Chain A
Amino acid sequence: MRAPDTSEILLQVEGVSLAFGGVKALREVSFNIKKGEIRAIIGPNGAGKTSMLNVINGFYHPNHGAITFKGRTRARMQPFEAARGGIARTFQNVALFKGMSALDNIMTGRVLKVRRGVLWQMLRYGPALKEEIEHRHRVEEIIDFLEIEAIRKVPVARLPYGLQKRVELGRALAMEPDLLLLDEPMAGMNLEEKEDMSRFIIDVNNHYGTTIALIEHDMAVVMDLSDRVAVLDHGVKIADGTPDEVKSNQTVIDAYLGVAH
């Protein structure tokens, strides 16, 4: 069993509100993510789950509220600054670089780790080549970990959906993130693929010690994987706690099943 170090809070979301014109996507949402845990965010369609992730990694700027990551509170932040801070993510609809091979996609995840400048890269000799090979080593470890050795040179556009999802996870892992945001990592997968993906998520958490926040619709998966679950409905947080607490929460049941009036 994994034993997350629950003492330290990695990310604190404090009273975040987000509106698109009249549509209030998030209303005064607060929750935290502790270091080393697997945190699930669930909710019916349109509950604001993806908006929440977009706020966390700087893609949307909240109208109100604050986000504290690794002890630093920030108001506005650009996505690449979030990446620099150690937040990686995958997308609901796979967002790979279609024209590149699986290997190149994952290598691109190393972009922030490359130290040699453009002139060195141009010569691709000595230290620059050595660095490139080091990155290749790290990437090959990830490829090995995700069991995608056979497809490393295949352009990702040619890969089946399940493998694309895996390559996308690999690209996020190549960033060596502190916090990994997974937006529906198992959407559209069959049972076997879901089991594989669950195993990878648990392994990432165990092996690399990465904190994970995931959005998922498959309740069985969520209840098995996560340490704590936050439930959103219409932009409001309606429940937060361990899977068992959430499962028996009447408000959550009502939100999912509807209430008789």
Chain B
Amino acid sequence: MLYRETGQFKSNYAEDMAIFPIRQDGIALGVLLAVAFIGVPLLATLHVWPFGTDYLLWAILLPFLILALAAIGTNILVGYCGQISLGSGAFMAIGAYSAYKLATGVHIPLAWLGIAITIPPLPVLASILLGGLAAAGFGIAFGIPSLRIKGLYLAVATLAAQFFFDWVFLRVPWFTNYAPSGSVNAPELNFFGVIVQTPIQRYLLCLTFVTVIAIMAKNLVRGNLGRQWMAIRDMDIAAELIGIRPLYAKLTAFAVSSFIVGVAGALWAFVYLGSWEPLAFSIDRSLDLLFMVIIGGLGSIMGSFVGAAFVLIVPVMLNLIPAELGVPLSTQTITHLQFIIFGSLICYLLIKEPRGFARLISIGKEKLRLWPFPY
């Protein structure tokens, strides 16, 4: 009954083109943002349920935000531009290691030239953003094959990126500043004099990144560039005949996608993990991101959030619910159950609803607008 658009008239195109043309949606998002930016930190400071411990912030909200960001990046490439990528983990790694190198100072001795390239340590924010740019650069490089190959074959090409960078970061000691264990520690998170340390600060930092990038991504996908991506995805020949250059459309999708994924990778390493090794960005990470995008909804920014939440929450719930019911499951059983649930869900969604939960939600909203009448 509350979800009605009666009486909301649009008198110009700007209103009709708003992200949420229905007022209730806008209000809902406003409330959500207020809760995320003010409510959650407040509750966490006061240690009110469910924030009695830092568990919810550390183990759920923080990874949720960062992975949702990475899922947005993946979704731009896979969902909007239709280029299947299995290399998201690699681009996260590039973002993370580039940011790490830039934040700790780059020193490349070119002995045979008698000179050395030295970049002093950069501030953390600049490192993270430049890490994203580095990922974008490599994204473009690995996107070039997409001009010739499509679908599964492209997936294999991006898989090559995944394995190549796994190997590079494991075997080339320069990237880890010659750390003997291969594991590196994030620099101090100093943002304009504010040192981000507590879980609440980390949460707010990630939330800011995610909000800003999500809005920009949304603007891109509903603008001219987004339409070019979707045109290439839906019918590349027709797209070319109306003047879209496949080269430009595909490579911008790779660049924007890799940038976002790279920033997410840098945040994952710096803010969430703190210290990490290449295993943190393995093929499993790429697959997880792909699952999130498929489950949440291909071609939907909101779907990226839904998918990330789902993929993160299922294991937690599998842990909590049986324990509450008095039949705790072993870790191994939980892992197996997780595979079963994701696997069957992906099969189901790909057959029944390729646009995932986001599509189910929008169908639900359409029904709700007319409720209780069927049409």
Contacts and interface: CB of A to CB of B under 8 A. Distances in A.
Given A57-B241, A88-B242, A111-B242, A136 B224 contact: no
A175 B13 contact: no
Contacts of A171: 242
B216 A175 contact: no
B238 to A, nearest CB: 4
Interface stretch (A21-29, A122-130, A219-227): A122-130
A108 B17 contact: no
B245 interface: yes
A112 interface: yes
Contacts of B301: none
B219 A122 contact: yes
Interface stretch (A44-52, A90-98, A201-209): A90-98
Which of B14, B216, B227, B243 lies at the interface centre, i.e. has the most chain A CB atoms within 10 A of its CB? B243
B234 A98 contact: yes
Given A96-B235, A123-B216, A124-B219, A129 B14 contact: yes
Mostly helix, strand, loop or mixed at chain A's interface? helix
B224 A114 contact: yes
B214 to A, nearest CB: 12
A44 to B, nearest CB: 25
B350 interface: no
A67 interface: no
A99 B233 contact: yes
Contact of A136 (B17, B225, B234): B17
A97 B230 contact: yes
A14 interface: no
Nearest to A122: B216
Nearest to B248: A80
B231 interface: yes
Interface in A125-155: 128-129, 132-133, 136-137, 140
B8 to A, nearest CB: 15
Nearest to A121: B223
B245 A80 contact: yes
A91 B237 CA distance: 11
B188 interface: no
B9 to A, nearest CB: 16
A112 B13 CA distance: 21
A137 B252 CA distance: 27
B219 A108 contact: no
B224 A121 contact: yes
Contacts of B341: none
A119 to B, nearest CB: 10
A91 B230 CA distance: 19
A154 to B, nearest CB: 12
B63 interface: no
B interface bracket (residues with beta carbon within 8 Å of A): 20 to 34
B13 A140 contact: yes
A108 B231 contact: yes
Contacts of B228: 108, 111
Contacts, number: 102
Interface residues of A, number: 41
A129 B244 CA distance: 21
Contacts of A114: 224
A121 B219 contact: yes
B244 A80 contact: yes
A18 to B, nearest CB: 18
Contacts of A132: 17, 223-224
A104 B222 CA distance: 9
Contact of A79 (B224, B241, B252, B299): B241
Interface string B308-327: 00000000000000000000
B237 A95 contact: yes
Nearest to A124: B219
A202 B37 CA distance: 58
A133 B14 contact: yes
Which of A89, A124, A133 lies at the interface centre, i.e. has the most chain B CB atoms within 10 A of its CB? A124
A83 interface: yes
Given A80-B240, A80-B244, A91-B238, A107 B227 contact: yes
A104 B230 contact: yes
Contacts of B241: 57, 59, 79-80, 82-83, 88-89
A137 B239 CA distance: 22
A137 B13 contact: yes
Which 7 pairs of residues, A with B, have the shortest CB-CB distance?
Answer: A83-B243, A97-B234, A95-B238, A121-B223, A124-B219, A112-B243, A114-B224
25 contacts: A57-B241, A59-B241, A80-B241, A80-B243, A84-B243, A96-B234, A97-B235, A98-B235, A99-B299, A100-B227, A104-B227, A108-B227, A108-B230, A108-B242, A111-B242, A112-B243, A114-B224, A122-B219, A122-B223, A128-B223, A132-B17, A132-B224, A133-B13, A171-B242, A175-B242
Given A97-B239, A114-B224, A136-B17, 8 more contacts: A57-B241, A88-B242, A99-B299, A104-B230, A108-B227, A109-B242, A122-B223, A132-B223
